[in-house]
Amino acid sequence: MPAPSLEECCDACLRRTALLALLAPHVEVARHDRRLSGLLTLADHELLAAIAGRKRAWFEAAIERFDADAARATAARAGLAQLCRHAAGYPARLLEGADAPAVLHTLGDRSSLPVATTPAVAVVGARRASAYGLEVARALGRGLAAAGVPVVSGMALGIDSAAHTGALEAGGPTIAVLAGGADRAYPRSKATLHRRIAATPGCSVVSEMPPGFVPFRWGFPARNRIIAGLADTTIVVEAAERSGSLITAELAQELGRLVAAVPGAVTNPMAAGANALLRDGAELVRGAQDVLDALLGAGVRVVADGPDPAALEAPLRALLDRLGPRPATSTALLRSGEAPDAVVAGLAELELLGYARRVPGGAYVLAAG
Amino acid sequence: MLAHVITFAVRGIESLRVTAEVDVHRGLPAFSIVGLGDQAVREARERVRAALHNSGFRFPQQRVTVNLAPAYVRKVGAGFDLAIALGILAADDQIPAERLRACAVFGELSLGGGLRPGRGALAIAEGAARAGIATLIVPAENGEEAGLVPDIDVRAAGSLGAVAALLRGEEIDYEAEPAVPAAPDPVAEPLDLSDVRGHAGPIRALTIAAAGGHNLLMSGPPGTGKTMLARRLPSILPAMTQDEAIEVTRIHSVAGLRSGGGLARERPFRAPHHTISPSGLVGGGAVPTPGEASLAHNGVLFLDELSEFPRNALEALRQPLEDGRVVVVRKQQAAIYPTRFVLAAATNPCPCGHAGTTRCRCTDADHQRHRRRLSGPLLDRIDLLVDVQRPAASELRAGPVARSAELRDAVEAARERQRSRLRGTVARCNAEMSPMLVREHVALDEAGERLLRKAYEAGRLSARGHHRVLKVARTIADLASSESVGVDDVRVALGWRLDVEGSDDASAVA
DSSP result, A5-30: -TT---HHHHHHHHHHHHHHHHHHHH
Position B375 scores a pLDDT of 64
- Determine contact: A296 vs chain B, CB below 8 A: no
B188: pLDDT confidence band, cut at 50, 70 and 90?
low
CATH 1.10.357.10 is held by the domain A309-366? no
Better-scored residue on pLDDT, A344 or A177: A177
- Determine contact: A351 vs chain B, CB below 8 A: yes
| Chain B (395-434) residues lying within 8 Å, Cβ to Cβ, of chain A | 395, 398
Shortest Cα distance from B388 to chain A (angstroms)?
7
Residues B67 and B198 in one domain: no
Query: Coil, helix or strand for A215?
Result: coil
Position B498 scores a pLDDT of 63
B222: pLDDT confidence band, cut at 50, 70 and 90?
confident
B8 domain-assigned: yes
- Determine contact: A55 vs chain B, CB below 8 A: no
CA distance A19 to A61: 11
Residues of B in contact with A162 (CB under 8 A): 509-510
User: Per-residue pLDDT for A31 more than 70?
Assistant: yes
- Determine contact: A134 vs chain B, CB below 8 A: yes
Q: Locate the chain A residue with the closest alpha carbon to B460.
A: A352
CA distance A229 to A85: 13
Residues of B in contact with A161 (CB under 8 A): 508-510
- Determine contact: A336 vs chain B, CB below 8 A: yes
CB atoms within 10 A of CB B134: 12
Residues B124 and B200 in one domain: no
Q: Do B507 and A189 touch (CB under 8 A)?
A: yes
Highest mean pLDDT among A55-59, B412-416, B443-447: B412-416
Residues B152 and B204 in one domain: no
- Determine contact: A155 vs chain B, CB below 8 A: no
Domain count, chain B: 2
Q: Do B508 and A193 touch (CB under 8 A)?
A: yes
CB atoms within 10 A of CB B402: 20
- What residue numbers bound the domain in which B127 lies? 2-167
Shortest Cα distance from B499 to chain A (angstroms)?
6
Q: Do A361 and B205 touch (CB under 8 A)?
A: no
Torsion of CA B468, B471, B472, B473, to 10 degrees: 120
Residues B204 and B334 in one domain: yes
User: Per-residue pLDDT for B397 more than 90?
Assistant: no
CATH 2.40.50.140 is held by the domain A110-296? no
Percent above pLDDT 90 for chain B: 49
User: Per-residue pLDDT for B187 more than 60?
Assistant: no
Domain A110-296 and domain A309-366, same fold? Reply is: no
B183 domain-assigned: no
Q: Comparing A209-213, B79-83, B214-218, B443-447, which segment has the lowest mean pLDDT? A: B443-447
| Chain B (194-233) residues lying within 8 Å, Cβ to Cβ, of chain A | 200-202, 204-205, 219-220
Residues of A in contact with B499 (CB under 8 A): 330, 358, 362
B263 domain-assigned: yes
Dihedral sign from CA coordinates of B59, B64, B69, B71: positive
User: Per-residue pLDDT for B389 more than 70?
Assistant: yes
Residues B134 and B258 in one domain: no
Q: Do A362 and B205 touch (CB under 8 A)?
A: no
Q: Do B204 and A158 touch (CB under 8 A)?
A: no
B65 closest CA partner among B45, B43, B38, B94 = B45
Residue A250 phi, psi dihedral angles, 5° rounding: -65, -45
Dihedral sign from CA coordinates of A231, A232, A237, A238: positive
Q: Locate the chain B residue with the closest alpha carbon to A141.
A: B509
What b/e string do you get for B379-388 counting C-beta neighbours within 10 Å, with b at 16 or more?
bbbbbbbbbb
B88 closest CA partner among B121, B139, B53, B38 = B53
Give the Cα-Cα-Cα angle A122, A123, A128 (nearest 5 degrees): 145
User: Per-residue pLDDT for B125 more than 50?
Assistant: yes
A26: pLDDT confidence band, cut at 50, 70 and 90?
confident
- Determine contact: A330 vs chain B, CB below 8 A: yes
- Determine contact: A363 vs chain B, CB below 8 A: yes
Query: Coil, helix or strand for B510?
Result: coil
Q: Distance of CA B60 to CAs B3, B159, B497, Å? A: 14, 20, 71
Q: Distance of CA B204 to CAs B408, B442, B470, Å? A: 12, 22, 18
Position A285 scores a pLDDT of 92
Alpha carbon A248 to its chain centroid, in Å, reads 11
Better-scored residue on pLDDT, A114 or B17: B17
CB atoms within 10 A of CB B436: 9
Radius of gyration of chain B (CA): 27
| Chain B (477-506) residues lying within 8 Å, Cβ to Cβ, of chain A | 488, 491-492, 494-496, 498-499, 502-503, 505-506
Average pLDDT score over residue span B212-240: 91
Residues of A in contact with B385 (CB under 8 A): 362
Q: Do A326 and B358 touch (CB under 8 A)?
A: yes
How many residues would you count in chain A?
369
Q: Distance of CA B266 to CAs B188, B241, B302, B342, B360, Å? A: 11, 11, 16, 15, 40
Residue pLDDT, tens place only, B474-509: 999 999 998 889 899 999 998 888 655 443 333 333
B199 domain-assigned: yes
User: Per-residue pLDDT for B21 more than 50?
Assistant: yes
Residue pLDDT, tens place only, B257-286: 876 677 888 899 999 999 999 989 998 877
A6: pLDDT confidence band, cut at 50, 70 and 90?
very low
Residue B487 phi, psi dihedral angles, 5° rounding: -65, -30
Residue pLDDT, tens place only, A222-279: 999 999 999 999 999 999 888 889 999 999 999 999 999 999 989 888 899 999 999 9
Q: What is the pTM of this model?
A: 0.74
User: Per-residue pLDDT for B102 more than 60?
Assistant: yes
CA distance A159 to B459: 21
Q: Comparing A182-191, B263-272, B373-382, which segment has the lowest mean pLDDT? A: B373-382
Q: Do A360 and B491 touch (CB under 8 A)?
A: no
Residue B140 and residue B156 in contact, taking contact as beta carbons nearer than 8 Å: yes
Residues B212 and B344 in one domain: yes
Q: What is the mean pLDDT of chain B?
A: 86
B174 domain-assigned: no
Residues of A in contact with B505 (CB under 8 A): 358
Residue pLDDT, tens place only, B133-178: 999 999 998 988 998 998 899 999 999 999 999 998 877 655 444 4
B178 domain-assigned: no
Residues B489 and B396 in one domain: yes
Domain ranges of chain A: 110-296, 309-366
Given B152, B167, B182, which residue is the final one in a domain?
B167
Q: Do A134 and B505 touch (CB under 8 A)?
A: no
CATH number where B82 lies: 3.30.230.10
Shortest Cα distance from A183 to chain B (angstroms)?
19
Residue A172 and residue A329 in contact, taking contact as beta carbons nearer than 8 Å: no
Furthest-apart CA atoms within chain B: distance in Å:
89
B188 domain-assigned: no
Return the axis-axis angle of helices A244-254 and A219-230, rounded to nearest 10°: 50
Instruction: Choose the mutation target among B362, B388, B509 for the interface with A, i.e. most A CBs under 10 Å.
Output: B509
Q: Do A162 and B510 touch (CB under 8 A)?
A: yes
Q: Do B510 and A334 touch (CB under 8 A)?
A: no
B208 closest CA partner among B302, B75, B342, B14 = B342
CA distance B298 to B112: 40
Residue B346 phi, psi dihedral angles, 5° rounding: -135, 145
Chains A & B: contacts with CB separation below 8 Å: 131
Average pLDDT score over residue span A126-139: 87
CB atoms within 10 A of CB B484: 11
Determine the residue type at B174: Y
Residues of A in contact with B485 (CB under 8 A): none
Contacts for A143 with CB less than 8 Å, ≥ 6 apart:
A166, A170, A287, A288, A289, A291, A292, A303, A304, A369
B176 domain-assigned: no
Residue A200 and residue A193 in contact, taking contact as beta carbons nearer than 8 Å: no
Residue pLDDT, tens place only, A75-113: 999 999 999 988 888 898 998 888 889 999 999 988 888
Residues B131 and B273 in one domain: no
Does the ipTM exceed 0.90?
Answer: no
Q: Do B387 and A345 touch (CB under 8 A)?
A: no
Radius of gyration of chain A (CA): 22
Residues B270 and B316 in one domain: yes
Residue in B363, B494, B507 nearest the CB of A128: B363
Position B499 scores a pLDDT of 57
Residues B159 and B231 in one domain: no
B179: pLDDT confidence band, cut at 50, 70 and 90?
very low
Dihedral sign from CA coordinates of B82, B85, B89, B90: positive
Residues B346 and B385 in one domain: yes
CA distance A323 to A349: 14
B499 closest CA partner among B386, B394, B361, B389 = B386
Shortest Cα distance from B424 to chain A (angstroms)?
32
